[in-house]
Structure 1
Amino acid sequence: METSLYLPVKDFLEQAGYAVKGEIGGCDLVGLSDSDPTIVVVCELKLSFNLELILQAVDRAAVSDEVWIAARISAKGRGREADKRYRDLCRRLGIGMLGVSDAGDVSVIVGSVTPMPRTNPKRRSRLMREHRNRRGDPALGGSTRQPVMTAYRQQALGCAAALAAGPLRVRDVTTSVPDAGKILLSNVYGWFERLERGIYGLTGAGREALIRWPQKIPDKQ
């Protein structure tokens, strides 16, 4: 699976000085630097190099300073990484190529990455905000067919954990989740119910969510 490539590539980019998290804004990996201004690096994963991987990288160029593609290196040496035309196309587009061996070693196939113009600053800002707001790195890059643990979902689970022992006033929940007011009111996942003005409880769906994604349950206010 593509997720098997995530940790080796994450380690490679972290050694290059980036804070890396997976599945941010639809990107398999997003790395932020501590420099000023911040450099945004995006990497897309596939089990083998193909045209779809390049198309994804071109799309990500609108929100990043560097774009990389990474794939498993063909054991027989017959993959696209051995095709000079494929490598030249990446160079012309400013896309870097990383090869991952079966042992998890990462090698640079195309290393000279041309800085790309950022054509979508709003989307770039959303990408950076999600990266910075997400606690830890809860999602493996390359994951499919499962909910992504976004920063919003993390905060909603924090609200659910606070309500697990019983209904609370919104201001009591905000002590652990500052955006609780908006999250409880919008109730995107159907985890909460409004019992009285300013007082919320947890639904059955909310309790099921806590079983699926266990949280530290705070002491009741």
Structure 2
Amino acid sequence: MLKKLKESDLYLPIKLFLNKQGYEVKGEIKQCDIVAKKDDEIIIIELKLTLNITLLLQSIDRFTLADIVYIAIPKQTPMYKTKSKQIKKLVARLGLGLIVVDIQEKQQYVEVISDPKEYQPRKNKRKQSALLKEFSLRQGDTQKGGSTTKKAGLTAYRQRCIRVAEYLSKTDTASGAKIKKAIDEQQATQFLYSNYYEWFDKIGRGTYKLSDKGKAELPEWQLKIKATTS
């Protein structure tokens, strides 16, 4: 069974690893956990038993002393075991390198996961397209940043459903095709069929009316729309 780890347990494995690559290595130089030097190249490595904001802030500060900065954590760190992909992205985004040390009873293994480099995240075109679509379709600035509850969201989708509900509130019953033509809502039939907010009741083939829930909630949402556009 492994003893309880200390940050200093990471030092010797990393020092030996760097020595083999021709670096001179010293510990605790001007509050830096590890400083390695080879010719004109300087590397600073900060050691921690877990990834936390303190480690990241310390590491970022080290860029005032050297261009190459790594953070080093045990491979056994619970957060790394469960969120390694996110950690790699975060570290890369900050321009840092990442080293993990696999601490075994008789042997320690050092692995350089990533070297410091300028990070340019790859865009997810599908998600970006959805973001821009919601941005362009939503009328006004309808929701405060930070409010995440389902009921709080006056999204573009909800705004379009409100238009369908408003039409039904005036005509009692209608088909999706009729609503589509009347208010120029291309997805009217889909909104009625999906009935995400439970605002619509199907009363016949392709024919709907406003549900009791829709009648009760529609005035509230109409007021919210008015508040955001006035």
TM-score (norm 2): 0.44
Radius of gyration: which is bigger? 2
TM-score (norm 1): 0.46
Q: Between Structure 1 and Structure 2, which shows a larger proportion of helix residues?
A: 2
